[in-house]
Amino acid sequence: MPTVYADIPILSGILLVCLAGLFLILATPAEKAARIKKISAVSSGLTLAAAVYLFFAYDRGIGGMQFAEKIPWIPSLGISYFNAVDGFSLPMLLLTGIVFFTGVLTMWELTERVKEFFALVFLLVLGVYGLFMSLDLFFIFVWYDVSLFPMYLLIAVWGSTRKEYGAMKLTLYLLAGSALILPALLYLVFVSGLNTFDLLQLMAPGTFTPAQQRFAFLLFYIGFGILAGVWPLHTWSPVGHVAAPTAVSMIHAGVLMKIGAFGVLRVGIFLCPEGWRHWAELMALLATVGIVYGVFAGLRQTDLKYVIGYSSVSHMGIVGLGLSTVTVDGLNGAVYQMFAHGIMTALFFSAVGYIYDKTHTKAIAELGGLSRTMPRASAYFIVAALTGVGVPCLASFWGELVVFISSFKVYPLYGTLAVAALAVGALFILRVVQKTCYGPENEKWANLPDVSPGLAVPRMILVSVIVLFGLFPSLLFDLIRTASMPLMAGLP
Amino acid sequence: MTNWPAFTPEIYYVAVAAVFLVLSMVRADHRRDYQTAVVLSALGVGITLASTGITADLFFGSYRVDIFSQVFKVLLACGFFLVVVLCSELSGVERRLHPEFYLLLTTSTLALMLLVSSVHLLTVYVSLELSSYSLYVLVYLRKNQPQRERTVVHYFLIGASASAVMVFGIALLYGSTRTMYLAEMARILPAVISQPAAAVGFVMTLAGFFFKLAVFPFHFWAPGVYEGSANQLTAYIATASKVAAIALLVRLTALGDASAPLAHALVMLSIVTMTVGNVSAIVQKDLKRLLAYSSVAHAGYVLIGVLSMNPAGYAAAIFYSATLLTLKFTCFMVVVRVAADGANITVEQLAGLHRRSPVLALALMLALFGLCGIPPTIGFVGKLLVFTAAMERGYFTLVLIAMINVVISLYYYLLVLKAAYLTEPAPDLPPLAVTVGDKVLAGALIVVITVFGFYPAPLIQIARSAAAVLL
């Protein structure tokens, strides 16, 4: 795989814009909430623009790592600041840009501790961007933790529903994940004997023995898997999502959970392909259990956000199933699903967030007939629900389809179970839609305002992205293929 | 022929002690005492910085000035200066005793400086005792502390026991190697370390420093002393005193030459120490007690670097000591400022710090994440270096256990953070008396914690060159 270095450091530019936004917010007096929101919108918009540019400027004919930047950072330890993007990370960068920008716009009406909120969100996103573009194990770990540690405050201060419990549980779980990742990283760096944290150097075939790969991959899989919501380590996720404020739920379910899956891919699979093969069966099993469990746990929920939380567990299970097939198609589908699910959940949470802001309830039983009182809000909700169900022409369809096709070939039983579970899942999502948007109207909500044009902007962006990638899946598949084909071809 | 310029920092601190001795005999004036102390300690930082390049052997080879000792002297001088800066109110000590407080703080710092340059077991022992005795008296200076006699006696007894063990260890070591000079011992010891007398003597010699660093089983003094001392003194014990202890542990362990039984003993000590510290910290209500147990846990992490017994490990331990100095000092700065009356504070009393002083709250948050070892803070780099060194030796399980400990510690750090950021201040609380100077200091600490967290290469280089002279 070739590595093309950048003339202009666009990737660092994205990070610098986040950092500059962070400092500008910190420098603005807390009373000037409107200015803080404008700064946030402009900076997040800039990062989105850069991500879109990269998405289209990436040369799909050459493939490999592009827009690379490399500076020695701590030479004595072999650590370098090494950023680059490939077909796996570009969709993630685009996803981050979209969710970040729309998330900021969604929180336009926030009034409580505005300055701190946006500062923490910028820190969080800085970590996310950094992780997706980094190719140095040290920085991958640093960015991973940078994206975790604002979460506690974001949930505990601005959240709802058992927020302190949710925040503490989430933070401890995710740090427990990093407690496995760091030793595994250091282990690989040392057994390689290369004295480097450079992922591309370490992934050269023959660096690690199969036994070492099996050992390290398991640690990576569990460590990053916690963040990806792999069953049975997912329990932080519904609780955390429910407790978090809207934008944080969007970023968290939309992007942060992808970090987990991306970590398994970028670190686990890239460095330890033998381990990947060895543990694939286990991954498939856990992923299938996650899919089935998420659906059935979701069936019993009475809180709208819990429903989405459990559907995330189920949908991330599809990503896991795709990765576990050890095929090009499985990888393509998994990455596609990561992207599609990110956009879909962001829309879901932003729709529910709006409903909750107005009605102050997330209990399904108390809602009803929203399609008449808030037609636009419920339209967004319904689109998200249909995407989640996997309706054709909406983005998730393609990801799920490709994953299921490849899993039928490799694991017929698990594939069948997963598809069956998804059918049940469709049932339960549609039931939720029916109970909240249709059915008898609740008198209490009759006079609530619908989504204003300003607040509709972020939701419309999400809807159009869903439709765009639902209609033109090759936009994304062509890109992912430039990374997945060489990866699979390079396997021993 | 003695190279006196090499000895300038020590002479300077003797002079500072003399100044406070004189001040203690004239009429007390706490503003004057404070200003004198700040100026003199700031000057001390400059003098130690100026002496960093010097290399010399003094006093018949029993005292060595090199980059290793000078790096630590700079850290000690900085620690002393920072603690003195916190003493603007010093309401935990009676006003007429302020000169004595500064005097003893100076002698303790002087002793720690002597300690990091000592390369003869007797100078090591004498310096260690000088610093300990200063601290025993300092602990007693706390006013309105009904149990201070008990605290001091407790501290003294454990300290004296540790000293006794250490002296016995030195005797055994002398018996095996027939020398007190560390340089000669480094030559002889590898050949005899397999003898039980030498190995036992060696570990017992380390006991004095285990006591200072609060390593299990010599950690029992820590919570009581942290709680019972004036807040500024606790800050000193948690920072400067630990730094010197780490220096000597590194210097002595470098003699041990990676013998397996010794390493195993230290591995066990390290695991027990960090686990005991972290688990005990969870249930603490008093902030200083919590920080005391967190110090115990950190002693365990430092030991990982020491027991790796490779250059990377020693450099890691040196780096870690600077890390601890910064992070612990930041925490204690918050303690001192929040407890304006000099009393102890509970974790809950931090309530609403984010409103009462945003910059202190931010500094506290970063310091807590740093202590937990979460990037991008200097604390993470410390942990990373320590773990890297251990991994080089193949201690995978040890690193894993340490990481699990990190997760445990996150819980109680988050509880502190929660008090500072989530709860609202009680309405009748007076606003915090945070001066411009405090804000600048807190800002500087924030910068140090984050900038060196992101770009630690220069500091690592210094730590490496300091560790290089040991071998």
pLDDT digits (tens, 9 = 90+) for B189-236: 888 878 888 888 888 888 888 888 888 888 888 888 888 888 889 999
Mean of the pLDDT values across residues A195-220?
87
**CA nearest to B100, candidates B177, B165, B22:** B22
pLDDT tens, position by position, B297-312:
999 999 998 888 888 8
More confident residue, A483 or B260: A483
Contact: B391, A164; criterion CB under 8 Å: no
Model pLDDT for residues A276-293, shown as the tens digit of each residue? 889 988 999 999 999 888
pLDDT at residue number B1: 52
- pLDDT for residue B257: 65
Confidence (pLDDT) at B17:
92
- Look at residues B59, B12, B86, B4 and name the one whose alpha carbon lies nearest to residue B329: B86
Residue B65's SS3 state is strand
In angstroms, rounded to a whole number, what is the distance separating the alpha carbons of residues A325 and A311? 22
Residue B20 has pLDDT above 70, yes or no: yes
What is the average pLDDT across B155-159?
89
Name the CA radius of gyration of chain A, rounded. Answer: 21
CB contact under 8 A, B374 and A75: no
State the total domains in chain B: 1
Chain center to CA of B301: 13
In which band, very low, low, confident or very high, does the pLDDT at A166 lie, cut at 50, 70 and 90? confident
Mean pLDDT of B274-282: 91
Q: Do A76 and B457 touch (CB under 8 A)?
A: yes
CB atoms within 10 A of CB A125: 31
Question: Within an 8 Å CB–CB cutoff, is residue A55 touching chain B?
Answer: no
Average of per-residue pLDDT values in chain A: 86
The answer to whether A116 faces chain B, any CB pair under 8 Å, is yes
pLDDT in tens, A73-83: 888 888 888 88
pLDDT at A314 over 90: no
> Mean pLDDT throughout B266-284?
90
User: Can you say how many angstroms the Cα of residue A12 is from the centroid of all Cα atoms in its chain?
Assistant: 21
For residue B320, the model assigns a pLDDT of 93
Q: How far is CA B287 from the centre of its chain?
A: 18
Q: How far is A187 from chain B (nearest CA, A)?
A: 6
ipTM of the assembly?
A: 0.83
| Residues in B lying within 8 Å of A, measured between beta carbons | 354, 369, 374-376, 380, 384, 387-388, 391-392, 394, 396, 399-400, 403-404, 406-407, 410-411, 414, 417-418, 421-422, 455-457, 460-461, 464
Half-sphere exposure of A145 (CA within 13 A, CB side): 30
Strands B56-58 and B63-65: antiparallel
Q: Do B396 and A187 touch (CB under 8 A)?
A: yes
Taking an 8 Å cut-off on Cβ atoms, the answer to whether B464 and A77 are in contact is: no
Q: Answer whether B414 sits within 8 Å of A182, measured CB to CB.
A: no
Which residues in chain A touch residue B403, judged by CB atoms under 8 angstroms apart? Answer: 178-180, 182-183
Please write the tens of the pLDDT for every residue from B367-422.
Answer: 999 998 888 889 999 999 999 899 888 888 899 999 999 988 988 998 888 888 88
The residues with which B63 forms a beta bridge, in sequence order, are: B58, B118
Chain B hits for A179, CB-CB cut-off 8 Å, are 400, 403-404, 406-407
Task: Please tell me the predicted confidence (pLDDT) of residue B272.
Answer: 93
| Bridge partner residues of A80 (DSSP) | A72
Q: Does pLDDT of B260 surpass 80?
A: no
pLDDT value at residue A1: 63
Does A142 contact B at CB distance below 8 Å? yes
pLDDT at B259: 65
Using a CB–CB cutoff of 8 Å, tell me whether A16 touches chain B: no
Mean pLDDT to the nearest integer, A129-153: 88
Residue B388: closest CA among B376, B403, B374, B377: B403
Cα(B107)–Cα(B97) distance, rounded to whole angstroms? 15
pLDDT at position A306: 84
Q: Which residues of A touch B414 (CB under 8 A)?
A: 152, 168, 171
Q: In the predicted model, what is the mean pLDDT of residues A147-166?
A: 82
Give the mean model confidence (pLDDT) for residues B37-59: 87
Highest-pLDDT range among A341-345, A359-363, A434-438: A341-345
Q: Given this model, what pLDDT does residue B195 score?
A: 82
Residue A404 predicted with pLDDT over 80: yes
> Which chain B residue is nearest to residue A167, measuring alpha carbons?
B414
pLDDT at A7 over 70: yes
Q: How far is B239 from chain A (nearest CA, A)?
A: 26
Partner B contacted by A179 (CB < 8 A): yes
HEC sequence for B71-131:
HHHHHHHHHHHHHHHHHHCCCCECHHHHHHHHHHHHHHHHHHHHHHHECEHHHHHHHHHHH
Indicate the SS3 state at residue A411.
Answer: coil
Taking the CA atoms of B290, B293, B295 and B301 in sequence, report the sign of the dihedral they define. Answer: negative
Cβ pair A349, A308 in contact under 8 A: yes
Residues 297-336 of A with CB under 8 A from B: none
Mean pLDDT in residue range A127-151: 89
Tell if the CB–CB gap between B392 and A152 is shorter than 8 Å.
no
B388 contacts on A by Cβ (under 8 Å)? 77, 186, 189-190
Q: How many CB pairs under 8 A join A and B?
A: 82
Average pLDDT of the segment spanning A306-322 = 87
Q: Is the dihedral of CA A362, A367, A369, A370 positive or negative?
A: negative
CA-based nearest residue in chain A for residue B392: A190
Overall average pLDDT of the B331-338 stretch: 89
Q: Which residue of B has its CA nearest to A71?
A: B455
Q: Is B447 exposed, middle or buried (0-12, 13-18, 19+ CB in 10 A)?
A: exposed
Q: Which of A73, A142, A156 sits opposite B457 (nearest CB)?
A: A73
Of B374, B391, B407, the CB nearest to A187: B391
- CB-CB neighbors (< 8 A) of A194 in chain B: none
pLDDT for the residue numbered B2: 64
Which among A405, A225, A223 has a CA at the least distance from the CA of A325?
A405
User: pLDDT-derived band of residue A112, with 50, 70 and 90 as boundaries?
Assistant: confident
The reply to whether residue A74 touches residue B460, judged by beta carbons under 8 angstroms, is: yes
**b/e map A215-246, b = 16+ CB within 10 Å:** bbbbbbbbbbbbbbbbbebbebbbbbbbbbbb
What is the domain range of residue B291?
4-468
**CB within 8 A of A208, min separation 6: which ones?**
A188, A191, A192, A216, A271, A272, A274
**A81 CB within 8 Å of a chain B CB:** no
Considering only CB atoms, which chain A residues are within 8 Å of B464? 76
* Nearest chain B Cα distance for residue A465, angstroms: 34
Shortest distance between the Cα of B314 and any Cα of chain A, in A, equals 14
CA B331/CA A84 separation, integer angstroms: 38
CB-CB under 8 Å, B388 with A76: no
3-state SS record for A349-403: HHHHHHHHHHHCCCEHHHCCCHHHHCHHHHHHHHHHHHHHHCCCCCHHHHHHHHH
Q: Do B418 and A164 touch (CB under 8 A)?
A: yes
Q: How far apart are CA B73 and CA B51, in angstroms?
A: 9
Nearest CA in chain A to B366: A149
**pLDDT over 90 for what percent of chain B?**
30
Q: Do B403 and A187 touch (CB under 8 A)?
A: no
What average pLDDT score do residues B304-324 get? 90
| A73 CB within 8 Å of a chain B CB | yes
Q: Which of B391, B406, B461 sits opposite A186 (nearest CB)?
A: B391
Whether residue A358 has pLDDT greater than 70 = yes
Give the pLDDT confidence score for residue B258 in this predicted structure: 59
Mean predicted confidence (pLDDT) in A303-319: 86
- In a mutational test of the A interface, the residue from B418, B424, B451, B459 whose CB has the highest number of chain A CBs within 10 Å is B418
Classify residue B52 by burial, with Cβ atoms within 10 Å: 0-12, 13-18, 19+.
Answer: middle
Q: Which of A101-115, B61-75, B322-336, B385-399 has the lowest mean pLDDT?
A: A101-115
Per-residue pLDDT at B110 = 93
